[in-house]
A and B are shown apart, each in its own frame.
Chain A
Amino acid sequence: MLDQKGQIRIIESFLAIAVVFSAVLVSATFPSSPDLSKQKSLSNMGTQALIKLDTNGTLGNLILHSNWADIRTALNILLPMGVSFNLTVYDEAGNAVNLEAVQNSNLLGRDAVSVHYVCATTSQAVEFFVIRLQLAWAG
């Protein structure tokens, strides 16, 4: 009788250890929170690239002439290597203006940050756009 009790104690102890251990394992599998410093740096790079492109009104004029290839090339030059981007331009009514994708690679499955930028053209008939630039580190 005493032996049986001892065996039950041992089983209970193992069960207790298993419960705690499985809790540790479960909590370890939770996804970690995103690296904020990396996100902040990406967002800064994106904003600065857009500001540089917009300084003399180039960005607005490229949008006005639907010159998406030149915008893609300019962003490829202004952003550091290893940064993937996807740019979408919206008009005042919120409709997407660029019918073709302005991106250098696919961002699916990556931790991306989004930069929103307001832009006006220097043309005689002034037009306004909202630009959403999504950025992620490649690889």
Chain B
Amino acid sequence: MRKKEDSGQILLITAFIIASLLISAQLYILDVGKISGEMNSNSLNDFVSSVKLGSAHVVAGSLANISIGGAFSLLESNIREWAQFVSAQYVEGKNILNFTLEEAAPYSSGVWLFWGANGYGASSAYVDFLHTLVGRDSDVEMAYSVNVTTALLISSTSRMLNETTQQINTTIQVSDETGPALATQVTVYYKVSGSWLIPDGSNDFELLDYGNGTYLASFTAAILTPGVEVSVHAIDFRGVRVQANVTSTEA
């Protein structure tokens, strides 16, 4: 009899238990969803890709500085600073960016500047990187090399227009590590009596841009002797400077 009287209370207690089970189950599902939602929206590969691009930019910027007279050591100090900066940006695991400057000839401290008198000049930097990233769920180890090279190939011909004046035509080809490249600045010099002069309007100077990294500079100069020395200085779109000298041959 007593059992029958209690059955209503048991029903209520059961209802409360069912209700609390429903709410706690829902809360658990929500909590699990939140944990998954907190996953880092930046995947490791994306981070490594951005670091790789940044490394290339640091090498290019350093070479641009070195090519206008900066110290070779600038490359190492800039990359070291970059590596420290990168390491501080990923706090969820081990993140180390190691690098090795190319020392094999003709490079020294990762840099090679060759501004020759045979019509060829190159400004180049070469660095090997190893990026190790140990995350919570996966690890990434990426080795890559960054080669930034701006090269200049020039050839020059001259012919006597009259007894005192020569017509000088110089073909200039600018290239980088991927192929022909455009220059943001091309400056032509010619040597007269030991001094380098820049041809201008008075020399009928013309610089023809073919749009594919090839330029044709033509000018006249009052030089009596054949074999005019010509020097070309070029700066590419990354700011890397390169120069080459050549002695013109008679056309």
Which A residues contact B (CB, under 8 angstroms)? 5, 8-9, 12-13, 15-17, 19-20, 22-24, 26-27, 30-34, 36, 39-40, 42-44, 47, 50-51, 54-57, 60, 92, 113-126, 128, 130
Contact = CB atoms under 8 A, between A and B. Distances in A.
A17 B19 CA distance: 10
Contact of A50 (B12, B22, B50): B50
Given A27-B25, A118-B47, 13 more contacts: A13-B8, A23-B23, A27-B26, A31-B30, A36-B37, A39-B41, A54-B50, A57-B57, A120-B57, A121-B57, A124-B65, A124-B70, A126-B62
B124 to A, nearest CB: 16
B64 interface: yes
| Interface of B: prevailing SS | helix
Contact of B61 (A24, A44, A120): A120
A122 B236 CA distance: 12
B82 to A, nearest CB: 6
Contacts of A22: 19
A13 B11 CA distance: 7
Nearest to A54: B53
Interface string B14-25: 111011101101
Nearest to A111: B37
Contact of A51 (B11, B37, B50): B50
Nearest to B37: A34
Interface residues of B, number: 54
Contacts of B54: 54, 118-120, 128
Nearest to A57: B57
B211 interface: no
B78 to A, nearest CB: 5
A118 B50 contact: yes
Contacts of B110: none
B121 interface: no
A117 B50 contact: yes
